[in-house]
Chain A
Amino acid sequence: MSVLVGKGTKLIVQGMTGSAGAFHARQMVEYGTDIVAGVTPGKKGAEVEGLERIPVFDTCVDAVRETGANASVVYVPPPFAADAIVEAAAAGIGVIVAITEGIPAHDMIKVKAGLAMDYPSTVLIGPNCPGIITPGQCKIGIMPGYIHEPGDVGVVSRSGTLTYEVVHQLTTHGLGQSTAIGIGGDPVKGMDFVECIERFNEDANTRAIFMIGEIGGSSEEEAAAYIKANVKKPVAAFIAGQTAPPGKRMGHAGAIISGGKGTAAAKIEALEAAGIAVAASPAEMGSTLKSIL
């Protein structure tokens, strides 16, 4: 089974008439995702190549009313992305996946506070993330579908391509995935490790968990504390950036060691103290989890 998304997910693509939105919408449909609508303001009735059967609406409210959509994915450019996220929430969407990279931090501060205030049950994944996939059922985002295999390992990660790497290794080791969630590399985001791990912990069909963290912030330490107190399922992890120099931003806005905080060493120590198996190298992620099952 899965968490958050699955066979019953009916998806809206915000920004489907743009090139990135259209490309990935086609990929998602090909994977079997049930896309019920596209939304682009002022483009009502537009037809997108290869997606002719999917209606395009002006607003999320219209799309939800006409199709019963319950999830949305955002491919809207950064200046308009915050608005798009809140629009989806206001239309009653329960799961919003924001792929957009480069949203100003101040916009996300307001979005996060606004959602918590007005739409506390809405789940936001991202922004600046690869998305979420329940293999064999529903793919929302930009990950290559074919590397995934249905199974019972829950994957949660701050990094995109490193998620593909671990999924590939798990699949190679015969370990399928229940759901893989890319939470994104921005400093202000929706779901964090703890919220994802909480769901995997409660999911009867998730047997084990793999988490990928990176330098910067303290989310991994918080996850370690949560796991120590609450999780009986086997958990393995990898932390990227063990060799990153302090004061340099490693691509992601959130990946920076500053003031001696957020180092890989401190995170690994916290994870190991919580009984989590930490892979020594990124080539050993799959084998590390397999060794504790």
Chain B
Amino acid sequence: MKIHEYQGKELLARYGVPVPIGISAQSADEAIAAIPQVQKKSGVDTVVVKAQIHAGGRGKGGGVKVCKTAKDAEKAVGDVFGMQLVTHQTGPEGKKVQRLLIEQGLDIEHEYYVGMTLDRATGRVTVMASTEGGMEIEEVAAKTPEKILKESINPAVGWQDHQARRLGFALGLEGKEVRALGKFLHALTTCYWEMDCSLLEINPLVTTTDGRVLALDAKVNFDDNALYRHKDIEEWRDLSEEDPAEIEAKKYDLSYIKLDGTIGCMVNGAGLAMATMDIIKHYGGEPANFLDVGGGATTEKVTEAFKIITRDPNVKSIFVNIFGGIMKCDTIANGVVAAVKEVGLEVPLVVRLEGTNVETGRSILGQSGLEIVTAADMADGAKKAVEVVK
């Protein structure tokens, strides 16, 4: 799960991570009212108006404005609030800005990058730091990997201060700043562990001319599997940032991702679902979605899955590919029949069933009177689903 920058900073501040003074706003009026408050609290005139969307590259897209006066800031609020912000992560249509963060301006001396995430190769959390703050870290990793410093966290002893010192000196910091970085990273790693984060990225982390170390940005992602331990965090979920079909799918424990193609897919198991997308492409088609109905799906869930697929106007044919294990083929067949009876069927439907209770499943489809194209195997099904679209 992702949260906004202002929420991330609120969370980090609870752990003692220094962040700039700021106020979040959900309307232009609120944002304008926040400007003098931030100026007063910080004692400086300069404020920064920051668009709050779940995507990186906001500055380049025109969603972050540094303003020297309250008047400039008011104008910036007018420009940014409600704009359709396009960044390299939003897609060409962009995202509408519905929240702003008004923040104090700082006298920045240098920008750094600090991030932490799970390193699958070691099965441990890795803390990364770089002098190339403010840059796209993937770009730095690709072009100059030696500029990214790494420290692994041993889960038995946790994050150690000597690791922070090692990073600090390697980044070229001195005395007071190294100590400040030590405190900063101690707070950050504590937050990461206690809150079950999956990614925590501060880009940039800044040093100021008066020797402070602050998080100028905050990207915080949580492990979905651990959200049951953090009910309060779940309240921060911003549903307007998520695809409505994906939200609907989650309600029924379905894993759905919308794609750009024309062939709707319903599959059990993530690996088989990916392979089904692959085989459609292999035969010259384009999948309209990834959809894993999971192992324990009921007839009701299958019906909902079918509805989600048919709601996509791009879908020109549907390929149901099931290899029953725990999932029984008769459950799938009943779900498909129920869904078609409820919502109708306007595009060709190709079904491939194999595995547990396959005979029962096939006879349910056969006796349903529905116009279903049956497939002998995965290749046959994919070919048929692609052919009818052409």
Interface residues of chain A, those whose CB is within 8 Å of chain B, are 20, 24, 78-79, 102-110, 112-113, 117, 130, 142-144, 147, 157-165, 168, 185, 187-188, 212, 214-219, 222, 238, 240-245, 247-248, 250-255, 259-260, 280-284
Of B224, B229, B278, B295, which one neighbours A282 at CB under 8 angstroms?
A: B278
Chain A proximity of B211: nearest CB distance (Å): 33
Contact between chains at A161 and B138 (CB < 8 Å): no
Of A108, A159, A259, which one neighbours B270 at CB under 8 angstroms?
A: A159
Can you give 26 A-B contacts (C-beta < 8 A)?
A102-B225, A104-B196, A104-B225, A105-B198, A105-B223, A105-B225, A106-B223, A113-B156, A142-B295, A144-B355, A158-B271, A160-B269, A160-B271, A162-B272, A164-B323, A168-B323, A168-B355, A218-B120, A222-B121, A243-B281, A244-B277, A248-B257, A253-B225, A255-B274, A259-B141, A282-B276
Closest partner residue, chain A, to B193 (CB atom): A106
Q: Does B373 have its Cβ within 8 Å of any Cβ on chain A?
A: no
Sort chain B's interface into a size bin. Answer: 35 or more
The complex places the Cα of A106 from the Cα of B137 at a distance, in Å, of 24
Closest partner residue, chain B, to A214 (CB atom): B271
Of B228, B287, B356, which one neighbours A144 at CB under 8 angstroms?
A: B356
> Which 10 A-B pairs rank lowest in CB-CB distance, beginning with the nearest?
A159-B271, A251-B270, A161-B269, A283-B379, A162-B271, A104-B226, A282-B275, A161-B272, A259-B138, A240-B274
Provided the pairs A109-B123, A144-B355, A185-B270 are in contact, do residues A160 and B154 lie with their beta carbons within 8 angstroms?
Answer: no
Closest partner residue, chain B, to A217 (CB atom): B120
Starting from the known contacts A78-B225, A107-B226, A219-B120, 15 additional A-B residue pairs (CB-CB under 8 Å) come to A105-B198, A108-B123, A109-B125, A142-B325, A158-B271, A159-B269, A160-B269, A185-B270, A217-B121, A222-B121, A240-B271, A241-B274, A250-B257, A251-B269, A282-B272
Of B155, B224, B257, B273, which one neighbours A113 at CB under 8 angstroms?
A: B155
The complex places the Cα of A126 from the Cα of B277 at a distance, in Å, of 25
Of A20, A168, A185, which one neighbours B271 at CB under 8 angstroms?
A: A185
B256-273, CB under 8 A of A: which get 1 and which 0? 010100000001111111
Chain A proximity of B125: nearest CB distance (Å): 7
Provided the pairs A243-B287, A244-B290, A283-B378 are in contact, do residues A162 and B355 lie with their beta carbons within 8 angstroms?
Answer: no
The complex places the Cα of A144 from the Cα of B323 at a distance, in Å, of 10
Q: Does B74 have its Cβ within 8 Å of any Cβ on chain A?
A: no
Contact between chains at A79 and B228 (CB < 8 Å): yes
Q: Does B176 have its Cβ within 8 Å of any Cβ on chain A?
A: no
A185 surroundings in chain B (CB, below 8 A): 270-271
Chain B proximity of A177: nearest CB distance (Å): 16
B96-136, CB under 8 A of A: which get 1 and which 0? 00000000000000000000001011011100000000000
B282 surroundings in chain A (CB, below 8 A): 280-281
B62-105, CB under 8 A of A: which get 1 and which 0? 00000000000000000000000000010000000000000000
Closest partner residue, chain B, to A222 (CB atom): B121
The complex places the Cα of A108 from the Cα of B377 at a distance, in Å, of 37
Chain B proximity of A191: nearest CB distance (Å): 12
The complex places the Cα of A47 from the Cα of B282 at a distance, in Å, of 51
Contact between chains at A160 and B156 (CB < 8 Å): no
Q: Number of A-B pairs whose CB atoms are under 8 Å?
A: 168
B interface secondary structure, majority: mixed
Provided the pairs A165-B378, A185-B270, A283-B379 are in contact, do residues A160 and B295 lie with their beta carbons within 8 angstroms?
Answer: yes
The complex places the Cα of A9 from the Cα of B282 at a distance, in Å, of 42
Provided the pairs A117-B156, A144-B324, A165-B275 are in contact, do residues A251 and B196 lie with their beta carbons within 8 angstroms?
Answer: no
Closest partner residue, chain B, to A216 (CB atom): B120
A162 surroundings in chain B (CB, below 8 A): 269, 271-272, 275
A244 surroundings in chain B (CB, below 8 A): 274, 277, 290
Of A105, A117, A144, which one neighbours B118 at CB under 8 angstroms?
A: A105
Chain A proximity of B204: nearest CB distance (Å): 18
Closest partner residue, chain A, to B156 (CB atom): A113
Contact between chains at A250 and B120 (CB < 8 Å): no
Contact between chains at A113 and B277 (CB < 8 Å): no
Provided the pairs A159-B269, A187-B118, A251-B290 are in contact, do residues A242 and B278 lie with their beta carbons within 8 angstroms?
Answer: yes
The complex places the Cα of A107 from the Cα of B198 at a distance, in Å, of 12
The complex places the Cα of A216 from the Cα of B120 at a distance, in Å, of 9
Contact between chains at B142 and A260 (CB < 8 Å): yes
Closest partner residue, chain A, to B377 (CB atom): A283
Provided the pairs A106-B193, A157-B271 are in contact, do residues A283 and B255 lie with their beta carbons within 8 angstroms?
Answer: no
A106 surroundings in chain B (CB, below 8 A): 193, 196, 223, 226
